[in-house]
């Protein structure tokens, strides 16, 4: 597995505004799916639920919209891990329609303890697999 993973997304009517273009916040939802699938592909589904007392939250998002996506477009959403810290992850993400860049973002994700929403070190197994992922790129 490389440091960049991609996730296909089809644009449905629920993703669009009255003009048939993707509502801006839905790009962030598409990106969330790609980040979640990155962790899942590494075998860390357990880190995605509240039973582990670990929770990932977006701390900061910088988004640049280049072109609109429309109803029924087939998109590819990428998530590239660019920085790994003790209790946070930094991703560069893109939404593309074929070779055309529609949206790009830098997403800073913090790891929190679910019980009190305080910063929490990434679980050791998650940190180790993400470290190896970064070292492969």
Catalytic machinery residues: 17
- Most distant CA pair in the chain: distance in Å? 46
Report the distance separating Cα 54 and Cα 77, nearest Å.
25
Instruction: Indicate if the alpha-carbon torsion angle 6, 7, 10, 13 is positive or negative.
Output: negative
| 80 contacts 3 by C-beta, under 8 angstroms | yes
**Residue 120, number of CB atoms within 10 A of its CB:** 20
The answer to whether the beta carbons of residues 3 and 136 sit under 8 Å apart is yes
List, in sequence order, every beta strand (DSSP E) within 11-73. 54-65
| Phi, psi dihedral angles at 78 (to 5 degrees) | -110, 155
């Amino acid at each position: 597995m490389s440091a960049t993973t991609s996730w296909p997304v089809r644009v449905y009517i629920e993703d669009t505004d009255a003009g048939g273009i993707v509502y801006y916040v839905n790009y962030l939802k598409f990106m969330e799916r790609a980040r979640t699938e990155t962790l899942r592909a590494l075998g860390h589904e357990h880190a995605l639920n509240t039973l582990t007392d670990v929770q990932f939250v977006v701390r900061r998002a910088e988004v640049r919209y280049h072109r609109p996506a429309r109803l029924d477009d087939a998109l590819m959403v990428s998530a590239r891990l660019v920085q790994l810290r003790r209790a946070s992850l930094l991703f560069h993400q893109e939404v593309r329609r074929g070779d055309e860049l529609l949206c790009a973002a830098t997403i800073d994700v913090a790891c929190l303890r679910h019980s009190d929403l305080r910063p929490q070190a990434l679980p050791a197994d998650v940190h180790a697999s993400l470290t190896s992922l970064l070292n492969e790129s």
